[in-house]
Amino acid sequence: MNDKPIKVLVVEDEEGLADAMVKLLKIRGLDAFYTMDGPEAVKIFEEKRPEICVIDIQLGYSKLDGLEVLERIKQIDKSTECVMVTRITDEESIEKAKALGATHYLLKPLNSTEWRDVVLEVAEIVKQRRQSSGQSAT
Amino acid sequence: MANPLPNEKELYERIKSENISVHPLVWDTMYHYLGDYISAISFISLLYIEKNEPMTIADGKRIIEYTRKIIDVVGKILHPERINADGKSLEQIKAENMKLHPLIHDFFTHYIPNDTNCINFRVSYYLDPIDENPIPLEEVRKILDYTASMRNFLDRLREATNKGKGF
């Protein structure tokens, strides 16, 4: 279990951006995949159980926005690390995301290096959690 | 990066002292569109820097497409009368004739289009249909710097226009 790459679900409605995000994480050894749609994000989450979700709050024409996706994911597995992405003008959503259990939020336009570093930092937390749960099991 | 305006410091001070602001809907719309497009260019560029490889022509073309979208949105924000069936927020900007203050207009005309055009020109140079070449890594690094320049400009302007508005 500990050797398996950490799974990351990216929920982002701008396809070119989502594609580049996933490729960037794959280079760093993470098992990343994306969807542009809220309901599909919840479905993928249930199937693949990623340990990290990076969710854009504004999901265009999706039936669920990013906050609703966050809420459903946290209902399924509270321990999932969720990084939210939004625009700076949306302070209300940032507060809601924090209340729903998101641990990090980043603002668009994104600084790609900062985004990468935050996701890698969260991946490190997940890795350490895996190791400590592995130790306590032995 | 776009060169700073010669009297930039005084202009920012003027924006603050005269409480010159930008309508929240205009900010929201700008961040909505520009946020995605600038971020996408930044991520595509970082991908190649991480791989330590020149950028493919296919991704160069994607970047050109994003620069066109940025110029299109900025054009509509600067000239709301040109907005036509472009989504609810843009149409409201047109309907309510939410024009930018001339000073903000000048800032916008200078920074975002200049940085965007620089990206466009740098990438376009390598997209010659007769002799297409991958985009060298040093150019990709400059593209990433231009996205940082646009982001920094938006942050500075937002901070300057935010006085007393509290959102």
ipTM of the complex: 0.85
The answer to whether A27 faces chain B, any CB pair under 8 Å, is: yes
Rounded CA separation A89/B33 (Å): 12
3-class DSSP string for chain B: CCCCCCCHHHHHHHHHHCCCCCCHHHHHHHHHHHHHHHHHHHHHHHHHHHHCCCECHHHHHHHHHHHHHHHHHHHHHHCHHHCCCCCHHHHHHHHCCCCCCHHHHHHHHHHHHHHHHHHHHHHHCCCCCCCCCCECHHHHHHHHHHHHHHHHHHHHHHHHHCCCCCC
Give the pLDDT confidence score for residue B53 in this predicted structure: 96
Tell how far CA A50 is from the center of its chain. Answer: 8
**B164: pLDDT strictly greater than 60:** no
The answer to whether A106 faces chain B, any CB pair under 8 Å, is: no
pTM for the full model? Answer: 0.88
Q: Are B45 and B140 in contact (CB under 8 A)?
A: yes
Rounded CA separation B161/B18 (Å): 10
CB contact under 8 A, B38 and A109: yes
Give the pLDDT confidence score for residue B166 in this predicted structure: 31
Find, in chain A, the residue whose alpha carbon is nearest to that of B26.
Answer: A89
CB contact under 8 A, A110 and B51: no
Low-confidence stretches of chain A (pLDDT < 70) are 1-2, 89, 135-138
The answer to whether B72 faces chain A, any CB pair under 8 Å, is: no
Residues 6+ apart with CB under 8 A from A18: A10, A12, A34, A35, A36
A52 Rama class: left (phi>0) / alpha (psi -120 to 50) / beta: beta
Measure in Å the smallest separation between the Cα of A43 and chain B Cα atoms: 25
Q: How many CA atoms lie within 13 A of A118 on its CB side?
A: 19
CA distances from B145 to A20, A23, B104, B111, B138 (A): 17, 20, 23, 13, 11
The answer to whether A111 faces chain B, any CB pair under 8 Å, is: yes
Residue B161 or A83, more confident = A83
Give the pLDDT confidence score for residue A138 in this predicted structure: 57
Over residues B61-114, the pLDDT tens digits come to: 999 999 999 999 998 888 888 777 667 777 888 777 788 899 888 888 888 999
**B121: pLDDT strictly greater than 80:** yes
Measure in Å the smallest separation between the Cα of A136 and chain B Cα atoms: 36
CB contact under 8 A, B167 and A89: yes
